A and B are shown apart, each in its own frame.
Chain A
């Protein structure tokens, strides 16, 4: 079972696929303001110390998902994976009543389908940030011009974020029959936008639309030179 967002989609760590090992090391071990490293030391896989040799595992350039690495039978995405889906998985295993290989134990719908906020599907004329609006607690975030990943994200979480007045950020991974979560979100947004100038107001598209799923997207990583 590919369990959770890391295994299924790469989770937030796969945003590191926008860079590579050297850039990550440079930031962590050389550049951070609190780091004092005049000799530019970075961790190595094999290090000779006085008493012998110490080994560390290799750090790779690219974060991959579990299904890209080994064959998996079932999936539950989400960060964290929702409790009801875990219960359903164990119930299936114990009863022996197994779903077809490749199934997800998450519901076959999107976060939007479960969200109780009122959807008016009004035209989006500008993009606002969540801290810029006075949320009424009842209207769809997209109707309030705030980006929400609900249309592109698999349900199962109980819409916990919209319920406390924070838009969905997409941790459930791609919705059912969605190949690329970010593309699905962009498509949903484009169908509501009044004109192309709205799209230009979107800041950090990759971090917004692929926050948890860059490794499990068509893009996967920045092209290596």
Chain B
């Protein structure tokens, strides 16, 4: 038996390692996706002051600190039994829309997009942001950087810092209001981001959807995975990033369960495997059946495609129209094509700018009524939709408002089983008779990159990106070939 190790894999947040075992015929026997790191936030958050938790947990990830900050803020609201003021809720959601803008732009242009925009078979040296710039034009590069910066700047104005914001570490509200000057600045940036979201959808249309080969690739078997889906929805079952109930649909698209934050333990359990540091969540009432898909396995997926599949639409007009077009193009709901995550992500980018513009035009947004008085400390669960999926923070506080216990079920963790299966399916569909080259391996990586996985978050470990080395070993573990990037 031959063994192929892809370590570290590139263009993702955090580290990952793929090991593919080939049988004697050179076909894939099995593929393992391993997350090689853990930090242990659930332990060292114990004993910390409640108000420090939404600040400490942002350090889980430098890409989506805003998600951890808001999940933490909402967990504190619940733990102190206080409802934030209307303005505080709107400011938090507004900041959150800014975060989605920069995070989704990051993935499309820097991480996942190069696979499509430059092409899956292009040389690795071209399959990156510089290749995207070469293909889309230098002026586009300026726009990408500008709008990513706008998203961060919006986060910075409201949250205090573009990375690792702090202002919502305040049970019952937010520590600072915005004035008219800041409001205007944020509105101008959202208007520009809105136009850029339109441009990005058109770019995706021109380069990906008008290319029949890409559409065939998106809907091809190796990238198809029928699972349950999870995402947060508003009262009308429309996608919401900041608040609402969590809805789960089955592989047929029918509602399986809808739950509030405090009920998450009735729905979700996590399984432990000895060969990876990431846990494997599953639906408790379906059960853990190993790494298999379908209605009898409790495995579900989250993130852009998970949210769209678990919802009944988008709450803003352009995003809704694009949502309808996606499902029409890809054959109706739910879409099980993993590569459709990319399209769903851009629909969400559009929604984030439309929702941001709604909030910034709200009469209450500059109100000084930003805090309600917290009650006594207790227990609370906060749920938001991180860019990569449903994010759960669960805090139990003692009478001094110190953390007794902290549990975190993080966006990419939910997708860990799906990522493992997608990689195996892609490897089996693409590697035949021992033929292994860079382009083929990249298609295997494409299977997980679509999820925009953040293993820093999933195991609460650190970010990094390093060169890739692939080792192919024969059945005696003798090195046959090494491919380096």
Residues on A facing B (Cβ under 8 Å) = 6, 11-13, 15-16, 18-19, 23-24, 27-29, 32-37, 41-44, 47, 49-52, 54, 56-57, 59, 79-80, 129-131, 135, 137, 160-161, 163-166, 169, 171, 203-204, 206-208, 211
Are A160 and B56 in touch, CB under 8 angstroms? Answer: no
Contact pick for B160, options A19, A130, A166, CB 8 Å: A166
Are A13 and B44 in touch, CB under 8 angstroms? Answer: yes
A41 to B1, CA, bound (A): 27
Proximity bits, B33-67, A CB within 8 Å = 1, else 0: 01011111011101111011001100100100000
Given A12-B56, A203-B400, 8 additional A-B pairs, CB 8 A: A34-B265, A34-B407, A36-B270, A43-B276, A130-B51, A164-B160, A166-B167, A208-B52
| Shortest distance from the beta carbon of A55 to any chain B beta carbon, whole Å | 8
Q: Which of B98-106, B168-176, B229-237 contacts A (4 or more CB under 8 A)?
A: B168-176
A206 to B44, CA, bound (A): 11
| Shortest distance from the beta carbon of B92 to any chain A beta carbon, whole Å | 13
Are A56 and B462 in touch, CB under 8 angstroms? Answer: no
Q: List 6 A-B contacts (CB under 8 A).
A: A11-B59, A44-B275, A56-B275, A130-B169, A207-B48, A207-B49
Are A161 and B161 in touch, CB under 8 angstroms? Answer: yes
A207 to B21, CA, bound (A): 45
Are A57 and B56 in touch, CB under 8 angstroms? Answer: no
Are B44 and A56 in touch, CB under 8 angstroms? Answer: no
A98 to B83, CA, bound (A): 53
A28 to B458, CA, bound (A): 12
Are B47 and A34 in touch, CB under 8 angstroms? Answer: no
Given the known A-B contacts A13-B44, A160-B161, A165-B175, are A129 and B51 also in contact in the complex, defined by CB atoms under 8 Å?
yes
A89 to B269, CA, bound (A): 47
**CB-CB < 8 A to A12: which residues of B?**
44, 56, 59
| Shortest distance from the beta carbon of B259 to any chain A beta carbon, whole Å | 13
Quick one: closest B residue to A40, CB to CB?
B272
**CB-CB < 8 A to B46: which residues of A?**
27
Proximity bits, B162-189, A CB within 8 Å = 1, else 0: 0110110111100110000000000000
Q: Is the interface of B mostly helix, strand, loop or mixed?
A: loop
Quick one: closest A residue to B39, CB to CB?
A13
What 9 A-B pairs are tightest by C-beta distance, nearest first? A164-B160, A24-B40, A51-B21, A15-B44, A165-B175, A27-B43, A164-B176, A36-B269, A47-B275
Are B43 and A47 in touch, CB under 8 angstroms? Answer: no
Residues on B facing A (Cβ under 8 Å) = 1, 3, 19, 21, 29-30, 32, 34, 36-40, 42-44, 46-49, 51-52, 55-56, 59, 62, 80, 156, 159-161, 163-164, 166-167, 169-172, 175-176, 264-265, 268-277, 279, 281, 284, 288, 374, 394, 400-402, 405, 407, 409, 462, 477
Contact pick for A160, options B36, B160, B271, B273, CB 8 Å: B160
| Shortest distance from the beta carbon of A120 to any chain B beta carbon, whole Å | 21
Contact pick for A211, options B52, B275, B281, B284, CB 8 Å: B52
Are B277 and A79 in touch, CB under 8 angstroms? Answer: no
Are A49 and B47 in touch, CB under 8 angstroms? Answer: no
Are A43 and B275 in touch, CB under 8 angstroms? Answer: yes
Count A-B pairs with CB separation below 8 Å.
170
Quick one: closest A residue to B401, CB to CB?
A129
A13 to B37, CA, bound (A): 13
Are A163 and B48 in touch, CB under 8 angstroms? Answer: no
A79 to B206, CA, bound (A): 40
Quick one: closest B residue to A43, CB to CB?
B277
Given the known A-B contacts A135-B175, A166-B166, are A34 and B29 also in contact in the complex, defined by CB atoms under 8 Å?
no
Quick one: closest B residue to A203, CB to CB?
B400
Are B265 and A166 in touch, CB under 8 angstroms? Answer: no
Are A49 and B32 in touch, CB under 8 angstroms? Answer: yes
Are B49 and A129 in touch, CB under 8 angstroms? Answer: yes
Given the known A-B contacts A52-B21, A129-B49, are A166 and B43 also in contact in the complex, defined by CB atoms under 8 Å?
no
**CB-CB < 8 A to B55: which residues of A?**
166, 169
Are B42 and A28 in touch, CB under 8 angstroms? Answer: yes
Are B44 and A16 in touch, CB under 8 angstroms? Answer: yes
Are A32 and B270 in touch, CB under 8 angstroms? Answer: yes
**CB-CB < 8 A to B80: which residues of A?**
131
Contact pick for B36, options A29, A57, A166, A208, CB 8 Å: A57
**CB-CB < 8 A to B36: which residues of A?**
56-57
Quick one: closest A residue to B55, CB to CB?
A169
| Shortest distance from the beta carbon of B320 to any chain A beta carbon, whole Å | 34
| Shortest distance from the beta carbon of A169 to any chain B beta carbon, whole Å | 6
Are A34 and B269 in touch, CB under 8 angstroms? Answer: yes
Given the known A-B contacts A18-B44, A34-B265, are A166 and B175 also in contact in the complex, defined by CB atoms under 8 Å?
yes
